[in-house]
């Protein structure tokens, strides 16, 4: 059975994951678009730079979202149910 984590450790893990994935997102967004013309290889009848700028970046963004959801859901299962934060908003 996996060990349980505290709410503070959960928040630390999520923040580190957010910053790491944000760094990946920024790298894909700016670096690939900036260097797209230097990719001369042909991929599916188009230059690789065109494919990465038009399609590959979107696929990377979907993978980033998928990784975030999987890891945070797995970490949420490690928090004991008594330590979950309570909502201060009332439901009407």
pTM: 0.69
Taking only the tens place, the pLDDT of each residue in 41-85 is 776 777 777 777 777 778 889 999 999 999 999 988 888 775 555
Which residue, chain included where needed, has tokens 């696929």? 59
Residue 1 pLDDT? 56
Maximum Cα interatomic distance, the chain, rounded to a whole number of Å: 59
Domain ranges of the chain: 7-75
- Cα 44 to Cα 51: distance, rounded to the nearest angstrom: 8
Range from 4-8, 9-13, 27-31, 79-83 that averages highest in pLDDT: 9-13
Mean pLDDT, rounded, of the chain:
80
Cβ–Cβ contacts within 10 Å for residue 7, how many?
12
What's the distance, CA 40 to chain centroid?
A: 29
Number of H helices and E strands in the chain, helices first, is 4, 2
Query: Would you state the pLDDT for residue 60?
Result: 87
């Amino acid at each position: 059975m996996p060990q349980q984590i505290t709410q503070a450790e959960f928040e630390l893990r999520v923040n580190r994951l957010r910053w790491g994935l944000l760094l990946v997102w920024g790298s894909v967004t700016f670096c690939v678009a900036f260097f797209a013309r230097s990719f001369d290889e042909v991929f599916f009848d188009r230059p690789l730079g065109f494919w990465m700028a038009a399609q590959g970046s979107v696929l990377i963004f979907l993978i980033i979202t998928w990784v975030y959801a999987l890891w945070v859901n797995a970490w949420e299962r490690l928090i004991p149910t008594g330590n979950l934060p309570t909502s201060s908003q009332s439901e009407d």
